[in-house]
Amino acid sequence: MRITSALAAAAIVALTAACGSGGGGGSSSSAPNEPVKINFLSLAWQKESIAANKQLVDEWNKANPNIQVTYVQGSWDNVNDQLVTQFAGGTAPDVIHNDSPALSGFATDGYLLDLKDKLPAELKSDIPQAAWDTVTFDGGKGEQGVYGVPFLQESQVIIANKKLLEASKVRIPTADNPWTWEEFSEAAKTMTKGDTFGVAWPMKSPVNKTLNLALNFGGTFFQTGADGKTTVKVGPEEREVLQRIHDQLYKDKSADPAALGQGTADPLPAFYKGKFALLPAGVFLRQQVAEQAPDGFEWVTLPGPKGTSAQQGAVSQTLSIAQDSKHPDEAMKFIAFFLNGPNQAKLAKGDWLLPTSQSAAADPAMTTQENGWDVATASAKNLVVAPFLKVNGFDEWKSKVATPVLQEFYANKITIDEAAKRLVDEGNKVLERYQR
């Protein structure tokens, strides 16, 4: 989920202008009898999502004349580089939109406020512990802290060509009774006929998808020893999903090889033409299908397959408070409003993602069958904290080791044993540098 570099460049200018007028997001300038001023950095980028964010800020400002929030548009493309500069200069915004993998480093460096003693009871109880786990870290103080409020998550589902699915006569999986991986593989083989493949796996960026699905079989890819050091692990559990996807490509020949090097949305034109029947993807891809599919094209959302469990790894979009904010209590009040149940439903709808709020998940907008919201929302119950979320050095391991190794494996250029050895040997060299 990224916006263009042109928008990103504009966002830097806007962000610096909006947030650069004094420490703590500029809110320290509030004089007596003047409203408290809070800057809110939002990374919303889709049209619907930006509109929902701005609407909620307007609602807050009208209802709270003594605490005024300024909406600041940021970009996923450069937010962490921008924040490093602003934190160092004491000009960071008060309320910061980010995702959970970014929080650990900022928390350890002392830039984010520990929220565990500031969370309103209603907000805390409305979000399940599995989501709170994605924002709970050792902030460098030797104890666990909560460094953000999680509010949007993504799960993996299967987007299916309804005509091809029904013609195959296979069992239609439901949220309560998803396909096993064996059933999924058999269904893909059944739907492979003539020029039509059963499934497509776009694996240009293979790491997060592979690691999140690996939890279906208990695969974590990382382990922490008694000495506190984390190492890479590729055992039987981690190999399960790797081998099953590889088998669909080269043994069953039920996966479209043309999709392999593509990005997540790139196979959609072929999908609309019936070149393949099933597309495993993040829930957000439903938006493009709903908005871009040709007239008459029928599609449905199916739950992801299950192995020994239906668990998937999750990261969260988050709202945090800068440690240097002059008005953390007011910032927390705004966050509690912004992320209450009805508002999370609006935000989730705008981003085509899953709310962490249990009351939002029960909202009729989140449970309608239209565009597969019922299946998507039900999949949230299977989300657990992604094991890689708390691994120092994961980003470098992902970019320098795992991405090229998995691309080569899925392209059938190396064996699963070679892939496992490189992920471990080369990966541990990377992680070692972060643990000295």
Strands 230-232 and 222-224, sheet pairing? antiparallel
pLDDT digits (tens, 9 = 90+) for 132-187: 999 998 877 778 999 999 999 999 999 999 999 999 999 999 999 999 999 999 99
> In whole angstroms, what is the distance from residue 301 CA to residue 173 CA?
10
- pTM, full prediction: 0.87
Pairwise CA distance, residues 96 & 72, whole Å: 10
Q: Is the pLDDT of residue 393 over 60?
A: yes
Q: Write down the pLDDT at residue 273.
A: 97
Question: Within 10 A of 429 (CB to CB), how many other CB atoms are there?
Answer: 14
- Two tokens at 417? 């044993």
Phi, psi dihedrals of residue 10, rounded to the nearest 5°: -65, -35
How confident is residue 31, by pLDDT bands cut at 50, 70 and 90? low
- Checking if the pLDDT of 348 tops 80, the result is yes
Per the prediction, the chain carries an average pLDDT of 91
DSSP letter at 221 equals S
Identify the CA nearest to 403 among candidates 394, 304, 40.
Answer: 394
Q: H-helix or E-strand containing 15?
A: helix 5-19
The predicted structure's pLDDT at residue 405: 98
Q: What H or E segment, with its residue span, contains residue 334?
A: helix 328-338
Mean pLDDT (whole number) for 225-242: 94
What is the tens place of the pLDDT at every residue in 176-215? 999 999 999 999 999 999 999 999 999 999 999 999 999 9
What is the per-residue pLDDT for 27?
Answer: 41
Helices vs strands, H then E, count in the chain: 20, 16
Q: Which is nearest to 325 in space by CA: 71, 23, 58? A: 23
Question: Can you tell me the mean pLDDT for 98-115?
Answer: 91
| Per-residue pLDDT at 25 | 40
Residues 156-313+388-432, CATH architecture: 3-Layer(aba) Sandwich (3.40)
Q: Is residue 28 pLDDT above 80, yes or no? A: no
Every domain of the chain and the residues it spans = 36-153+314-377, 156-313+388-432
**With contact defined as beta carbons under 8 Å apart, do 261 and 357 qualify?**
no
Task: Look at residue 358 in the predicted model and tell me its pLDDT.
Answer: 96
pLDDT in tens, 256-312: 999 999 999 999 999 999 999 999 999 999 999 999 999 999 999 999 999 999 999
pLDDT confidence bin for 83, thresholds 50/70/90: very high
Query: Cα 262 to chain center, whole Å?
Result: 19
**pLDDT at 24 (0 to 100):** 41
The greatest distance separating any two alpha carbons of the chain, rounded to the nearest whole angstrom, comes to 75
Q: What is the pLDDT of residue 32?
A: 63
CATH number for the domain formed by residue range(s) 36-153+314-377 = 3.40.190.10
Q: Which residue has the higher pLDDT, 8 or 57?
A: 57
Please tell me what DSSP assigns to residue 327: -
Check residue 105 and give its pLDDT.
84
**Token couple for 435:** 């643990």
The pLDDT assigned to 44 comes to 94
Q: Identify the DSSP state of 179.
A: P
